[in-house]
Structure 1
Amino acid sequence: MKKFLLTAFLIGTFSMSYAQSDYYNDYRRSISDINWQTVVADLLLSTTQANQVYALNDRYRDYNSWNKVYVVEPGRWRGERYSELERILGREKYIVFKKKYYRGQNPVMVYGRKNDVKKYRKQQEKYYKNQEKYYKKQNKHGHGNGHGHDDDWD
C-alpha cells in the first residue's frame, strides 16, 4: 500500500511540475519568439518605454523565479504580462503590436492551454452579452445614438 501511495504521489508531483513547466515554456516563448528590438523600432518607442519592455522581458529569468509567483495559478502570467505590456506601450501602440505579432488575437489565445482558452472564451462571451444588454437598455431609455444600432461596437 505504501508503494502505491508513493507511486501515486510521485506521478502527481511529476504531472503537476510538467504542467507548470509547459506554462513556463509558453512564457519564455512569448519573449523569445519576438524580436523586441524590431518592436521598439517599429512602434517608435521612447527610450523609457524600451527599457521598461526589456525589464519586463527580464523579470523572470529562470523557472524558479517565475514559479514562485505563478505556482498556484500558472495561466495567470499571460494576463499580467500583457496588461503590463499594454500599460508600457499605451493602448494604440499595443493594438498595433497585437495585430502585427499575434495577428490580432489576444495573447491568451496564442499562448493558451486548452482549458484556459475555454475559460477565456466563456469570459469573453459573458462580456459581450453584458455589453449587448447594456446597449439595448440604453437605446430603450432613449440614451442611444439615435440610429437604432450602435456604431461603437468595433
Structure 2
Amino acid sequence: MKKILLTAFFIGTFSLSYAQSDYYNDYRRSITDINWQRVVTDLVLSAAQANQIYALNDRYHDYNTWNRVYVVEPGRWRDDRYSELERILGREKYILFKKKYYRGQNPVIVYGRNKNDYKKYRKQQEKYYKERSKYYKKQHNHHDHDDWD
C-alpha cells in the first residue's frame, strides 16, 4: 500500500511541476518572442517607459522566482504581465502594440493556449451545458403540467 501511495504522490508531483513549467515556458516566450528594442522604437516610447518594460521583462529571471509568485495560480501571470504592460504603454499605444505584435489578439489569449487551461475551460463548459439542459428540461416539464390544470 505504501508503494502505491508513494507512486501516486510522485506522479502527482511530477504532473503538477510539468504543468507549472508549461506556464513558465509561456511566460518566457512572451518575452523572448518579441524584439523589445523594436517595440520601443516603433511606439516611440520615452526612456522611462523603455526602462519600465525592460524591468518588467527582468522581473522573474528564473523559474524559482517566478514560481514563488505563481505557484498557486500559474495562469495569473498573463493578466498580471499584460495589465502592467498596458499601464506602462498607455491605452492607445497598448492597442497599437497588440495590433502589430499579436495580430490584434489579446496577448493573454495568445499565451493562454496552455493545454491545462483548455482542459479546465472544457470541463467548465461541459458543466455549464449540463446544468443548462437540466434547467430547460425542468422548465419544459413544468409547462407541460400547467396545460393539464
Task: Report the TM-score range of the alignment, normalised by the length of the smaller protein.
Answer: 0.7 to 0.9
CA distance in 2, matches of 1:60, 1:89: 20
Deviating runs (4+, > 6 A) in structure 1? Answer: none
The equivalent of 1:15 in structure 2 is: 15
CA distance in 2, matches of 1:97, 1:51: 17
CA distance in 2, matches of 1:101, 1:56: 17
The equivalent of 1:42 in structure 2 is: 42
The equivalent of 1:78 in structure 2 is: 78
The runs of 5 or more residues in structure 1 that have no matched partner are 123-154
Report the Cα offset of residue 115 of structure 1: 5.4
The equivalent of 1:126 in structure 2 is: none
The equivalent of 1:94 in structure 2 is: 94
Report the Cα offset of residue 116 of structure 1: 3.5
Alignment of structure 1 residues 1-154 onto 2, 5 Å: 1-112=1-112, 113-114=114-115, 116=117, 118=121
User: SS where residue 59 of structure 2 aligns?
Assistant: coil
Report the Cα offset of residue 15 of structure 1: 0.2
Deviation track 1:45-64 (CA, whole Å, cap 9, x = no partner) reads 00000000000000000000
Report the Cα offset of residue 107 of structure 1: 1.4
Deviation track 1:2-28 (CA, whole Å, cap 9, x = no partner) reads 000000000000000000000000000
CA distance in 2, matches of 1:37, 1:17: 33
Question: 2:82–2:108: 8 Å Cα contact kept in structure 1?
Answer: no
Report the Cα offset of residue 109 of structure 1: 1.5
The equivalent of 1:151 in structure 2 is: none
CA distance in 1, matches of 2:106, 2:115: 14
The runs of 5 or more residues in structure 2 that have no matched partner are 126-149
Identity between Structure 1 and Structure 2 (%): 82
Question: 2:19–2:116: 8 Å Cα contact kept in structure 1?
Answer: no
Report the Cα offset of residue 114 of structure 1: 4.4
Deviation track 1:121-146 (CA, whole Å, cap 9, x = no partner) reads x8xxxxxxxxxxxxxxxxxxxxxxxx
Could you tell which deviates more after superposition, 13-22 or 103-112?
103-112
Aligned residues: 120
